[in-house]
A and B are shown apart, each in its own frame.
Chain A
Amino acid sequence: MATGRTAARRRRHLAMRSSLRPATAPGTPLAMDLDEESWAAADRPAVRPRRWPALAGMPPCVAGLGLAAYLTVIHFQGVTPVCPLGSTGGVVDCAAVVTSPQSSILGIPVPVYGLLFFLTMLALQTPWAWRSANPFIRRGRMAAAAVGVGMILWLIYAELFIIGKICIDCTTVHVLTFGLFCTTLFGTMATAPEPQYR
């Protein structure tokens, strides 16, 4: 995608190139022959290369994706989920939580939101995404992590004060989301582009 500024620069470049082209075989690309993506990328400062954000961010996404998928299937099958510390009507009661009115928001089951969240985050936590200096990716990733944390705060509130039960499966998802928020936060800082001075 070429912005207006980038496109104008490209037009100037092409005009200049026609007068500067050295004697080379026809069709040989010049070093200055950049495509539009390259021109757009040239406007952005490069990120500081770090491998650990992707290594730290992808496992929670995969684990969260698995748990969210399981809870989604459970929801639509209408069966009681496997609850590690019990599901027998005590404080820990996964069945009570996943079948509560708060288990859906706007008619959509909460695990479906979880699936979408972890799928999105998985894409944004890949090494490619962490190498990208695209501000939409960098800010989108941080915003998604913040939304995830906001969501788990609401769900914890609902479990404690509205439903009155705790679901271990859901709590595991909450911990994963919080971990993802932390790694995304520090990863974003660690890979922030070096400041450039004129």
Chain B
Amino acid sequence: MAPDNQTGGARRTPATPVPPRGGKKGGGRPAASRRPAAGSRPGSGGAAARSVANRREAIQRQRQRRNTLMAIAAIGVVIVVVAVFVAVKLSGGGKTNVGTIKAGKGAAQASGGAALPAAEYAKLTSPSLATLAAAAYHYHHAQLVAPTPIKSFPITTGGKPGIVYVGAEYCPYCATERWAMILALSKFGTFSGLTQIRSNTADPGIQHLATLSFYGSSYTSKYISFTPYELQNTQYKTLQTAPAKYLALSQKYMGGGIPLVDLDGKVFVLGAEYDPHLLAGLDQKQIIDQVATGTTVLSANMDADAGMLISNICKITHGRPGNVCKLFPTPVQTKG
């Protein structure tokens, strides 16, 4: 705050002509007129008054200098703070995992997205198994596509059946499918290091869908292993390279398209299972809120997609864990 150039005593003395003070006889003259200007007194008093006036001017100049310096210092502090922010950012400091799930090493930098806060992850994965099962078995939507049973090579890691995802951060269909995958896989294990990104294509209506990236994330489960490959980032630059066999499968069944989700070589998810347009215009928080409240078309589609995935994962885990899979007795699939 810039200080005003006035003292406590000065505030009590008006500069404008003041009406008379009633307590004094002969009042009525403005305060200023009771005190002639400095230097106007005749005789020896004039020099003293001039001296006082000079001292006042010197004090005023000093105050002005001090105020100017304070103002410049305040502006300088703002500039320095911003410069420090930029310098720290450019030097690669300032990880973005403050108050969030611990991000995978370098994930936020590589993907360019902010880590998903733990509270948001909890909300996203909050729909109950009963809700997901009901949606998978009873919800019917024209654009919902169930996983496809296909015989391929098994994926086993550490004695656990494996799931492989091949997609890319720019891809809107991958953006769509990831939401349901995270919801489904959260019933078998725990994700960490998910980052918030937006897909990036020229497809009308689905150019920049809010989603979460698997790049730099990790997934732990007692029942399944999960290996995601995000081939390219949102700027179409290579992030990861998937084993050739998965690219060959993608080529064989989808003409090289993505996303491809391979459930232990037994079931494939080819493309998004629900309509990506349902995500248009929403941010991550809004999507997660809808999933958590479960009252919209988007949430119904996502629940159904996740439920279908769970029913097929239960098939490859042979019904483990029981508390999850007892609600999904049969896999929901399309004809292969």
Contacts and interface: CB of A to CB of B under 8 A. Distances in A.
Interface stretch (A65-73, A94-102, A110-118): A94-102
Contacts, number: 174
A88 B234 contact: yes
Interface string A117-148: 00000000000000000010011001100100
Interface residues of A, number: 61
Interface string B58-96: 011001100110010011001001100110110000101
Interface stretch (B6-14, B129-137, B297-305, B315-323): B6-14
Contacts of A101: 117, 120, 284-285
Contact of A16 (B10, B22, B64, B112): B22
A177 B23 CA distance: 50
Interface residues of B, number: 70
Contacts of B198: 89, 93, 95-96
List the 4 closest pairs (A to B, CB-CB), nearest first.
A12-B22, A89-B234, A99-B283, A78-B281
Given A156-B85, A162-B98, A186 B281 contact: no
B75 A164 contact: no
A185 B4 CA distance: 11
Nearest to A87: B208
Nearest to B59: A195
Contacts of B64: 189
Contacts of B15: 45-46, 193-194, 196
A34 B19 contact: yes
B197 interface: yes
B44 interface: no
Interface in A26-77: 32, 34, 39, 41-46
B200 A42 contact: no
A2 interface: no
Interface string A142-165: 110010010001001100111111
Contact of A164 (B78, B82, B96, B282): B96
B185 to A, nearest CB: 23
Nearest to A20: B28
B11 A185 contact: no
Given A164-B112, A189-B68, A193-B6, A89 B197 contact: yes
A182 interface: yes
Interface of A: 9, 11-13, 15-16, 20, 32, 34, 39, 41-46, 78-80, 87-91, 93, 95-96, 99-101, 103, 135, 138-139, 142-143, 146, 149, 153, 156-157, 160-165, 178, 181-182, 185-186, 188-189, 192-198
B256 interface: no
B235 to A, nearest CB: 6
B113 interface: yes
Residue from A16, A99, A139, A165 whose CB has the most chain B CB atoms within 10 Å: A99
A100 B96 CA distance: 13
B170 interface: yes
B106 interface: no
B108 interface: yes
B142 interface: no
Contact of A196 (B10, B20, B169, B286): B10
Interface string B218-247: 000000000000000111000000000000
Interface string B15-43: 11011111100011000000100000000
B56 interface: yes
A42 B1 contact: no
Contacts of B27: 16
A185 B5 contact: no
A91 B94 CA distance: 15
B230 to A, nearest CB: 13
A142 to B, nearest CB: 5
